[in-house]
Amino acid sequence: MPSKKHAGAFVLVLLSVIVLSACTKGYDQGTGTYEDKGISVNFPSGWAKTTAVPNAAITIEQGDKNTFLSLFIQNQPDGTTLDDFLKRVSVGHSRLGAQETSNGSVRMGELEGQWFVRTINVGGIAFTSITYSVMRDATVYSVMGITRSDDFGQWEQTFDAVAKSFRFN
């Protein structure tokens, strides 16, 4: 079991097991702008890029080391719908002990998608994540924010703004 000091990073890795992605090269920490692979996302400026989640196109962390934002890009087989993908993710997260607490629809760029809030306990610490996902052609784009559950209310608007800043270039 991870130490409490590194529990946030451990939870982020656990929750991202199902989501595969590509590499990144286009993050400007000063402005928070990410541009790569024909997309752009505006992350909070000053957050540091981290390699805590190897399957993410990019993961950044806030200075508290318990709050993270990740972008995932996953190609799907032809014929897969966003609902199919999200059901597989939900099953995988449930197996890890995450519980879905709420969900809804979201607009990211010109695409309609869905968001899900999930909670999980690791080493006696409760974490809450929110994942926003859209699909274009056969590719799913997901933005996930995660923090300690008692801090989630403080970061939820930031996570929402990042997801809604998603654009195709």
pTM: 0.83
- For 9, the enclosing helix (H) or strand (E) is helix 7-15
Distance from chain centroid for Cα 138: 19
User: What's the rounded Cα separation, in Å, for the pair 128 and 145?
Assistant: 8
User: What's the rounded Cα separation, in Å, for the pair 167 and 88?
Assistant: 25
- Residues 155-165 have pLDDT tens digits of 999 999 999 99
Q: Count each helix (H run) and each strand (E run) in the chain, helices first.
A: 3, 11
Reference 155, options 133, 120, 137, 130; nearest CA is 130
pLDDT averaged per 10 residues, the chain (length 169): 59 50 64 90 93 88 92 92 92 89 95 96 94 95 96 97 95
Reference 115, options 128, 99, 102, 126; nearest CA is 102
pLDDT for res 6: 60
pLDDT for res 94: 85
- What is the third-level CATH fold of 4-168? Protein Transport Mog1p; Chain A (3.40.1000)
Domain boundaries, the chain: 4-168
Contacts of 50 (CB under 8 A, 6+ apart): 9, 59, 60, 61, 68
pLDDT for res 169: 87
Report the DSSP beta bridge partners of residue 48. Answer: 61
Report the DSSP beta bridge partners of residue 132. Answer: 115, 143
